[in-house]
């Protein structure tokens, strides 16, 4: 049987290696994150028609009006969430095609990822089985409330923008845990929240552009 992860030409491991080099030039320094980006076959998370563009530094459509984030932002958010620590449990809000969850899955013991669009959950679950990413649990639901059953989390990554930090999510962090999200509506910045006891330190970083975090499920 062919190895489902191997690609050719624009989808080959060599092309992915060039993407990793570019991430390094763009300022990603966490070698564990760079290694994870080098392993996960990004082309297999998107439509066949777009696969030749999988390793460009661009967001791509994944259907249902949603996008897969560009490789730089996935690496950047992962690096910020990890902050050099070993990760036990991680929560992602906004699974989409499951690429970011797969990258997190390389660095954490277990990942819980929540998506509000049922059809996307079905599609992504099937892909994850095929690719044998076994330490990722997909949940259909409104991630705004997090997933208390799996809490506390060492890190929480929100892949959709919102005007404030959802309160429920902050409370699901471990002491010393970190939450990374795009903050804002039209104008968004990357926000890192670090929990120390019951105080939450907020740091605002670069400008970003994400789809909105929406309430409820569909």
| Residues labelled as active-site residues | 69
Span interacting with ligand SAH, options 21-29, 30-38, 82-90, 210-218, rule CB under 6 A: 210-218
Q: Are strands 153-158 and 173-183 parallel, antiparallel or unpaired?
A: parallel
The nearest distance, CB 185 to ligand SAH, in angstroms, is 13
Q: Rule CB under 6 A: choose which of 96, 105, 182, 184 binds ligand SAH.
A: 96
Span interacting with ligand SAH, options 17-25, 137-145, 182-190, 191-199, rule CB under 6 A: 137-145
The nearest distance, CB 169 to ligand SAH, in angstroms, is 11
Asked if 93 interacts with ligand SAH (CB under 6 A), we say yes
The interface mask with ligand SAH, positions 55-74, x = CB under 6 A, is -----------xxxx-----
Buried b or exposed e, range 13-33, using 16+ CB within 10 angstroms: eebbeebbebbeeeebebeeb
The nearest distance, CB 87 to ligand SAH, in angstroms, is 16
Smallest CA-to-CA distance from 176 within 156, 147, 205 is with: 156
Distances (CA, A) of 27 to 22, 24, 42: 9, 5, 20
Q: Distance (Å, rounded) from C-alpha 98 to C-alpha 40?
A: 11
Asked if 78 interacts with ligand SAH (CB under 6 A), we say no
Q: Distance (Å, rounded) from C-alpha 162 to C-alpha 132?
A: 32
- 3-class SS of residue 75: helix
Given the rule CB under 6 A, which residues bind ligand SAH? Answer: 66-69, 93-94, 96-97, 99-100, 114-117, 120, 142-144, 159-160, 211, 213-214
């Amino acid at each position: 049987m062919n190895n489902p992860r191997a690609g050719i030409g624009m989808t080959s491991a060599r092309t992915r290696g060039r993407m990793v080099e570019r991430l390094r030039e763009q300022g990603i320094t966490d070698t564990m994150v760079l290694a994870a980006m080098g392993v996960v076959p990004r082309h297999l998370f998107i439509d066949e028609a777009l696969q030749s563009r999988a390793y460009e530094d661009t967001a791509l459509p994944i259907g249902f009006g949603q996008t897969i984030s560009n490789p730089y932002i996935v690496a950047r958010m992962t690096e910020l969430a990890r902050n050099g620590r070993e990760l036990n449990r991680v929560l992602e809000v906004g699974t989409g095609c499951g690429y970011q969850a797969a990258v997190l899955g390389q660095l954490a013991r277990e990942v819980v990822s929540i998506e509000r669009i049922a059809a996307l959950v079905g599609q992504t679950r099937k892909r994850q089985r095929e690719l044998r990413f076994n330490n990722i649990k997909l949940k259909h639901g409104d991630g705004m409330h997090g997933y208390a059953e799996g809490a506390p989390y060492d890190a929480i990554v929100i892949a959709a923008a919102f005007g404030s930090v959802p309160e429920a999510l902050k409370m699901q962090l471990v002491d010393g845990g970190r939450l990374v999200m795009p903050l804002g509506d039209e104008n968004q910045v990357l926000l890192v929240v670090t929990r120390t006891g019951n105080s939450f330190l907020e740091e605002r970083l670069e400008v970003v552009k994400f789809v909105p975090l929406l309430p409820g499920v569909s």
